[in-house]
């Protein structure tokens, strides 16, 4: 397959200003795609975009329906959308009995409702074009349970469920919908998790990172580029028959 196997395709990536989103933007652009990075931080988006050829940015708060509509209308005007990576997300932890409605609603607003809205905005272009990829960045937490993150786990299980439902609905239309489910990735989100552990325990930052890394089968943090590489693979023509899957990274099941 040629290096630029995504030439002529337009990819939209939410949460594109850092971490997995930025790495994914670089990977898809390297494969020839036109890329639109979405997020709330304009300066951070500009910084990432400035280093990626054939890329644009669109300011978007994925928790706000009107903002999503505006951002996707702007992206569509540049070119019909053929790839959507729902990467924007947040995490928070608390014991179940201290998980209040606000935390639960915040998890679902950012991790689930945003993916619904963005997919509804992008899917018509894919249907009209007869080709599409929707890739949801979920989490290993969308495949199993863990202590103290019930709200986060509920939201990521919902994201995986949405992936499977839409995959069934679009099967046979040359559109695939998959979820990528990484363990702990070397991103700012993990750094915040470590800071939270340090603030609540007697662990040093180094020891807290080591404890987090133990959650991955390899005993080390996953590089954002590893997740981006999986996203890029799912966009290939020889991944046409991979649909409705939740692909774990960093876990052996």
Name the residues annotated as catalytic: 152
Segment holding 152, helix H or strand E: helix 150-170
User: What's the first-to-final CA gap in the chain, in angstroms?
Assistant: 31
Helices 101-108 and 150-170 pack at an angle, to 10 degrees, of 30
> How far, in whole angstroms, is CA 49 from its chain's centroid?
18
Tokens of 17: 């200003």
Q: How many CB atoms lie within 10 A of CB 18?
A: 18
- Do residues 110 and 156 touch, judged by C-beta distance below 8 A? no
- Do residues 136 and 179 touch, judged by C-beta distance below 8 A? yes
Residue 38, helix vs strand vs coil: strand
- DSSP per position, 78-125: HS---EEEE-------B-GGG--HHHHHHHHIIIIIHHHHHHHHHHHH
The residue whose two tokens read 């989100």 is: 189
- Do residues 216 and 108 touch, judged by C-beta distance below 8 A? no
Q: How far apart are CA 132 and CA 138, in angstroms?
A: 19
Core vs surface per residue 122-152: b (16+ CB within 10 A) or e: bbebbeeeebbbbbbbbbbbbbeeeeebbbb
């Amino acid at each position: 397959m040629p290096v630029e196997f995504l030439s002529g395709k337009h990819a939209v990536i939410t949460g594109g200003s850092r971490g997995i989103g930025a790495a994914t933007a670089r990977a898809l652009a390297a494969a020839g795609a036109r890329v639109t990075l979405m997020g709330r931080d304009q300066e951070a988006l500009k910084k990432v975009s400035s280093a990626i050829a054939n890329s644009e940015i669109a300011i978007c708060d994925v928790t706000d329906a009107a903002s999503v509509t505006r951002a996707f209308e702007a992206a569509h005007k540049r070119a019909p959308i053929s790839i959507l990576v729902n990467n924007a997300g947040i995490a928070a932890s608390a014991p179940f009995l201290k998980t209040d409605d606000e935390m639960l609603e915040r998890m679902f607003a950012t991790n689930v409702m945003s993916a619904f809205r963005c997919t509804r905005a992008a899917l018509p272009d894919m249907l009209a074009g007869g080709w599409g990829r929707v890739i949801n960045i979920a989490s290993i937490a969308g495949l199993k349970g863990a202590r103290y993150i019930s709200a986060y786990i509920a939201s990521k299980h919902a994201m995986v469920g949405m992936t499977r439902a839409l995959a069934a609905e679009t099967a046979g239309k040359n559109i695939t919908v998959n979820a990528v489910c990484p363990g702990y990735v070397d991103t700012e989100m993990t750094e915040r998790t470590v800071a939270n552990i340090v603030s609540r325990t007697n662990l040093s930052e180094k020891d807290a990172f080591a404890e987090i890394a133990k959650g991955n089968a390899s005993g080390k943090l996953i590089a954002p580029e590893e997740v981006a590489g999986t996203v890029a693979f799912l966009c290939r023509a020889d991944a046409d028959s991979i649909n409705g899957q939740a692909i774990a990274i960093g876990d052996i099941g």
